Structure 1
Amino acid sequence: MKNDHKSDFRKSCIKKLEFISLFSKYYKNKIIVKKLEKFIKISESKNILLYIPLGIEVDVKPLIVTLRKMKNKNVYVPFMQGDSFKIVKFRLPLYKKKFAIKEPNNSFFKPNKIDIAIVPVVGIDAINKRIGYGKGMYDRFFDRLDYKPTIIFTQLILCKSKEILSDNYDIQADNIITS
């Protein structure tokens, strides 16, 4: 029953996100990226996990460009592997993979740990747990880590349920940044 509510909520959030105008989206992206930059600067984080955005997600590409220019910052992105992903250093070119997700080539370098993980969400439930696309890749990734980085959820517009829709394995945000 809860999964039906979660699925319906996911669909309604995706629908809302798909109907944001291009101008509004551009403006919202700029606001969110500035907030993320400020948070990263204040936290003095060195190893940052970002993502290559899909159409309805916050466009963090300008943030990736900015962080890559800084000597004391390392930018990582997910690289799909099995039922989850591993993190790889961001570098060009990017290749389109499963689910139309772009990623760089595989890398064998692995950081000791990431300090901040910036994670896209479709929605969040009443206790700030992530509602994603339903594949569970981020949940599995964080479950397999032996430490907990600061987790920041990003979303163009807040889509939050008044109910608890998450399962115990769904990841929870330390911070949520939206426009």
Structure 2
Amino acid sequence: MKNDHKSDFRISSIERLKFYSQFSKYYRNKIIVKNLKKFIEEKDGKNILLYIPMNMEVNVTPLLNELRKLKNKEVYVPFMQGDSFKIVKYRLPLNKKKFGIKEPNNSFCRPKKIDIAIIPVVGIDAIGKRIGFGKGMYDRFFDRLNYQPTMVFTQLILCKSDKILSNNYDIQADYIITT
């Protein structure tokens, strides 16, 4: 029963995000990226996990490009591998892969530790746990780490359920940045 509610919530959240991504996306992206940049500066994050955005996600590309130019920051993104992903340094060119997601080429340059992980969400449940696209890649990745970075969820608009839809393995945000 919980999975039916989770699936229904995921579908309705994706529809809301698609709608908003067509209309007020530019303005919302600017606000969120500005707040993410401020957050990274305040927390003095050195090794940062970001993501290469899909259409309905917050467009963090300007932040990716700005951070990669800084000498005191290292920027990493997911590289899909099996049922999860590994993190690779953000480099151009990007190649379109499974699920239409763009990725840099595979690399062996990994940080010892990620300070801040910025993670896109489809929605969150009543206790702040992530509802994603249903593949569980982020959940598996963070479950396999032997430490917990500061986790920041991003979303163009807040899609929050008033019910607990998550499973015990779903990741939870330390912070949520949205408009």
Q: Which residue does the alignment assign to 1:112? A: 112
Cα–Cα, structure 1 residues 148 and 62, in superposed 2: closer, same or farther, change >3 Å?
same
Q: Which residue does the alignment assign to 1:47? A: 47
Letter in 1 for 2:47: N
In structure 2, stretches of 5+ residues that fail to align are none
Cα–Cα, structure 1 residues 21 and 67, in superposed 2: closer, same or farther, change >3 Å?
closer
**Distance in 2 between the 1:44 and 1:64 partners?**
16
In structure 1, stretches of 5+ residues that fail to align are none
Please give the secondary structure, in 2, of the residue aligned with 1:85.
strand
Q: Which residue does the alignment assign to 1:70? A: 70
Please give the secondary structure, in 2, of the residue aligned with 1:126.
coil
Q: Indicate yes or no: 2:30 matched with 1:38.
A: no
1:23 shift after superposition: 4.7
Q: Which residue does the alignment assign to 2:157? A: 157
Letter in 2 for 1:145: L
1:100 shift after superposition: 0.2
**Distance in 2 between the 1:131 and 1:154 partners?**
12
Please give the secondary structure, in 2, of the residue aligned with 1:19.
helix
Please give the secondary structure, in 2, of the residue aligned with 1:119.
strand
Cα–Cα, structure 1 residues 21 and 58, in superposed 2: closer, same or farther, change >3 Å?
closer
The question of whether the paired residues in 1 share the 8 Å contact of 2:5 and 2:165 is answered with: yes
How do 1:1-179 residues align onto structure 2 when only pairs under 5 Å count? 1-20=1-20, 22-179=22-179
1:35 shift after superposition: 0.3
1:26 shift after superposition: 0.2
The question of whether the paired residues in 1 share the 8 Å contact of 2:118 and 2:154 is answered with: yes
Task: Indicate the RMSD between aligned Cα atoms, in angstroms.
Answer: 0.7
Deviations 1:119-173 (A, max 9, x none): 0000000000000000000000000000000000000000000000000000000
Q: TM-score, normalised by structure 1?
A: 0.99
The question of whether the paired residues in 1 share the 8 Å contact of 2:21 and 2:55 is answered with: no
Q: Quick one: percent identity of the two aligned structures?
A: 76
The question of whether the paired residues in 1 share the 8 Å contact of 2:10 and 2:132 is answered with: yes
**Distance in 2 between the 1:123 and 1:71 partners?**
34
What count of residue pairs does the alignment treat as equivalent? 179
Letter in 2 for 1:45: G
Letter in 2 for 1:136: G
